[in-house]
């Protein structure tokens, strides 16, 4: 995954460096020539990355070279992000009033200083990249310009034969499929039955069991087996069908001749065709093949095995068969067959207990059980005990072991989906992943790529999430009353795959910190941080860190020392994601404003925090700010309006918050704002420092739930309420309005002004006495 990530970062860097805005700034600040040279260096490196990834498993030297390259490309990405941030900051400042100090920053004298500094940094990175590229020439990499090929082995060809006595736990599944084959409730002449599941679950095995059943042999005039795999080539598939039907491989014929032979071979005959291991997601290609297959007799069936729900949906309008995992008992039965010598299971009870611990790693997946059991067969106790402490991802790989099989699914992902999936290695096994939060993290890390200019990052992230669901990477989906997915989990074996692909890039910290290395860019804590926790020196050395997450942190109860929270802010200047939730932070370091790369900041569940430093307003890349359950938070920074890229502001249960800061209407990128507080209008402070109800008028991207809290006397605010323009907030689905100190005589007029679009119902109107 790491090299696919590098390839994508390098490609994005080249595109962004060519933007008119960056070239204009580079020219004005005097480093355009250096930037062009850096672009050429990155282009050269990019062209060999994919070849390097393909060859690195067999070479320590190549792996070391790639580690050096990874650091250099990330340095270039961080520098470009810094340039972009300075450019954006310039635009924001000149778009309004600015202080004397800020005006100096962009003065001609300071531009010379900035330009000189940037030129020096660009030169250093370019020289480093050139040295790395020169060393890479020793490995004889082949250039792959503008390519992103699928990397990895192709699955072995399957065939129809299987010994039924070797199969455990698929009897009920076989009966269910036979019922679907012989069912008469399907009106189509030829119907399709997809079997869907993750790699290694036994889809092909189940199809083999069905194919070889005596009743199937009697019922169908023709039985045909075709292994499709990666390439959905209609001509090749037709040739395989003809070979299976006639036992003669067609000579080199044109498609016209082949389609005639196919229709002659199956015409009017009731057939069963198994299309094993289908990956094709192009519906038009399937419809072309389907048209040729419809010359069969009534009751013909096509049994498809696939890992992708999208494949199933384009091939049939009926139900697909979701293949279940084995039960615990079935898993143990299969493990016993594979791992124990005859009679050993009943004699060595201690080994049986070790075996049960090892079996848990296999997650009830037949191929994993067979792989592990085969490796343990006829091995001594020492080998079993060592195995118990290993992850499946670290086991030696053979041609048909579980990791290469699962990796086929990974290889079929786009580059952006590979990032998104491997990032999940930062969360513990069986962790419930909240969909909205996960998508926000992906966006913050730069993994989400919209399919067109008009598509929002959130909608693109939703597509990425659903793609991984359709491809069986996510499971155990939880939904709300409307059927919207709220969370998911990752199958244990898929988590092992994520760990393997993330490598040293993404690490879950352990208490002893032994798993850290200098090339780590993303970390999460695998334990709850307590008040006695100190940042170890080995962690402080990771000055290129991009992610600090706390998935295991308790919501409340911890209060780490201020020196520790300050270190987290001041030491890691390249962070994109910083999670400080539940740490008992009372005063956030003013240095937070120096984290110019920061996109995601979680300060939720810090019940002692009362104010945020105004320096937080310098975080112009910030997209997500989570402040929910900060019960004592009294106000937001006065310059909050400068956070022009903010997309999500969570303020749930910030009970002490009295108002929103002035200028909220400038935050037009906001898509989630769950609470908007309008302060009392009884003093002049309100008019100067507080947001007004009409600030909502320009926030037309708001979606989801919105609670509006209105404080004070509202007789003079009826016209302002209409200016809030809620009728154009098309994506709001739930609205709650709370009145504080309001007179009942005004509420009807006020509600009329606040009435949202017809798709939204005002859920509650509450009055509180002064």
Tokens of 89: 């900051």
Q: For the segment 520-529, what is each residue's pLDDT rounded down to a tens digit?
A: 899 999 888 8
Question: pLDDT exceeding 90 applies to what percent of the chain?
Answer: 40
Tokens of 620: 């112009």
- Nearest to 387, CA basis, from 373, 401, 400: 373
Q: What is the mean pLDDT of residues 289-310?
A: 93
- Nearest to 502, CA basis, from 422, 393, 397, 577: 422
Q: What is the mean pLDDT of residues 237-248?
A: 93
Tokens of 447: 């993994």
Residue found by looking up tokens 């859920």 in the block:
763
Q: What is the pLDDT of residue 144?
A: 43
More confident site: 556 or 619: 619
Kindly report which listed range (154-168, 202-216, 427-441, 638-652) carries the lowest average pLDDT score. Answer: 154-168
Q: What is the pLDDT of residue 466?
A: 94
Q: For the segment 12-67, what is each residue's pLDDT rounded down to a tens digit?
A: 665 555 555 555 555 555 555 656 666 666 666 655 665 555 555 555 667 777 77
What are the distances in angstroms from CA 89 to CA 139, 598, 644?
43, 14, 10
Residue 761 CB: number of other CB atoms within 10 A? 9
Q: What is the pLDDT of residue 150?
A: 42
Averaged pLDDT of the chain:
81
Q: What is the pLDDT of residue 705?
A: 86
Tokens of 644: 């022009």
d(C-alpha 51, C-alpha 401), whole Å: 24
Q: What is the pLDDT of residue 134?
A: 72
Write the CB contacts of 171 (distance below 8 Å, at least 6 apart in sequence): none
Q: What is the pLDDT of residue 766?
A: 58
Kindly report which listed range (154-168, 437-451, 666-680, 749-763) carries the lowest average pLDDT score. Answer: 749-763
Q: What is the mean pLDDT of residues 124-143?
A: 67
Residues shown for the chain: 770
Q: What is the mean pLDDT of residues 595-617?
A: 95
Whole-angstrom Cα Rg for the chain: 30
CA-based angle 241:247:252, to the nearest 5?
65
Q: What is the pLDDT of residue 143?
A: 40
């Amino acid at each position: 995954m790491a090299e696919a990530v590098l390839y994508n970062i390098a490609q994005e860097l080249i595109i962004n460096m060519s933007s008119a805005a960056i070239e204009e700034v580079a020219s004005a600040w005097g480093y355009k020539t250096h930037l062009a040279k850096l672009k050429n260096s990155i282009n050269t490196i990019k062209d060999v990355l994919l070849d390097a990834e393909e060859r690195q498993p067999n070479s320590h030297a190549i792996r070391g070279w790639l580690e050096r390259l990874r650091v250099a490309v990330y340095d270039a990405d961080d520098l470009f992000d810094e340039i972009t941030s300075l450019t954006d900051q310039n635009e924001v400042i000149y778009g309004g009033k600015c202080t004397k100090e800020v005006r100096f920053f962009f003065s001609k004298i300071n531009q010379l200083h900035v330009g000189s500094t940037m030129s020096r940094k660009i030169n250093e990175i370019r020289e480093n990249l050139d040295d790395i590229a020169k060393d890479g020439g020793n490995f004889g990499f082949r250039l792959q310009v503008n390519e992103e090929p699928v990397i990895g082995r192709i699955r072995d060809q399957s065939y129809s034969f299987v010994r039924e006595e070797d199969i455990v736990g698929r009897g009920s599944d076989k009966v269910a499929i036979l019922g679907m084959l012989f069912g008469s409730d399907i009106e189509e002449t030829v119907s399709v039955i997809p079997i869907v599941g993750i790699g290694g679950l036994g889809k092909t095995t189940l199809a083999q069991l069905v194919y070889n059943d005596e009743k199937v042999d009697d019922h169908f005039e023709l039985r045909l087996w075709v292994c499709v795999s990666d390439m959905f080539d209609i001509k090749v598939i037709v040739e395989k069908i003809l070979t299976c039907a006639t036992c003669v491989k067609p000579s080199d014929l044109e498609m016209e001749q082949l389609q005639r032979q196919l229709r002659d071979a199956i015409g009017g005959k009731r057939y069963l065709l198994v299309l094993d291991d289908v990956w094709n997601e192009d519906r038009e290609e399937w419809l072309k093949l389907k048209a040729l297959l419809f010359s069969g007799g009534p009751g013909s069936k096509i049994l498809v095995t696939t890992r992708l729900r999208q494949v199933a949906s384009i091939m049939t309008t009926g139900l697909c068969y979701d293949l279940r995992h084995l039960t615990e008992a079935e898993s143990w039965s299969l493990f016993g067959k594979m791992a124990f010598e005859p009679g050993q299971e009943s004699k060595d009870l201690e080994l049986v207990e070790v075996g049960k611990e090892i079996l848990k790693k296999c997650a009830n997946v037949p191929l994993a059980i067979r792989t592990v059991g085969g490796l343990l067969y006829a091995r001594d106790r020492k080998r079993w005990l060592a195995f118990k402490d290993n992850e499946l991802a670290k086991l030696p790989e053979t041609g048909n072991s579980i990791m290469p099989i699962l990796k086929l699914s990974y290889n079929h992902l786009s580059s952006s989906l590979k990032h998104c999936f491997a990032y999940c290695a930062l969360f513990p096994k069986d962790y419930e992943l909240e969909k909205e939060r996960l998508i926000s993290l992906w966006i913050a890390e730069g993994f989400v790529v919209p399919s067109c200019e008009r598509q929002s990052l959130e909608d693109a992230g939703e597509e990425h999430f659903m793609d991984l669901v359709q491809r069986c990477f996510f499971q155990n989906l939880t939904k709300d009353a409307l059927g919207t997915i709220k969370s998911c989990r990752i199958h244990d074996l898929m988590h092992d795959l994520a760990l393997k692909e993330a490598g040293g890039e993404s690490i879950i910290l352990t208490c002893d910190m032994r798993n850290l290395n200098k090339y780590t860019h993303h970390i999460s804590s695998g334990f709850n941080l307590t008040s006695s926790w100190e940042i170890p020196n080995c962690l402080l050395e990771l000055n290129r860190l991009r992610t600090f997450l706390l998935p295991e942190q308790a919501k409340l109860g911890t209060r780490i020392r201020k020196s520790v929270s300050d270190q987290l802010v001041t030491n890691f200047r390249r962070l994109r994601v910083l999670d400080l939730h539940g740490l008992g932070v009372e005063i956030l370091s003013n240095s937070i404003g120096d984290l110019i790369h920061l996109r995601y900041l979680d300060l939720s569940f810090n019940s002692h925090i009362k104010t945020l430093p105004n320096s937080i307003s310098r975080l112009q890349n910030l997209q997500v700010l989570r402040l929910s359950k900060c019960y004592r938070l009294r106000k937001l920074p006065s310059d909050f309006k400068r956070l022009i890229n903010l997309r999500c502001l969570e303020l749930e249960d910030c009970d002490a918050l009295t108002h929103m800061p002035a200028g909220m209407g400038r935050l037009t990128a906001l898509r989630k704002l769950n609470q908007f507080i309008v302060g009392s209008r009884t003093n002049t402070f309100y008019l100067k420092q507080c947001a007004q109800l009409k600030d909502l008028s320009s926030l037309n991207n708001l979606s989801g739930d919105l609670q509006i809290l209105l404080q004070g006397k509202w007789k003079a605010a009826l016209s302002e309420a209409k200016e809030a323009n809620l009728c154009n907030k098309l994506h709001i689905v739930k609205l709650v309005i709370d009145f504080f100190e309001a007179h009942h005589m005004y509420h009807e007029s006020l509600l009329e002004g606040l009435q949202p679009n017809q798709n939204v119902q005002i859920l509650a109107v509450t009055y509180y006495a002064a």
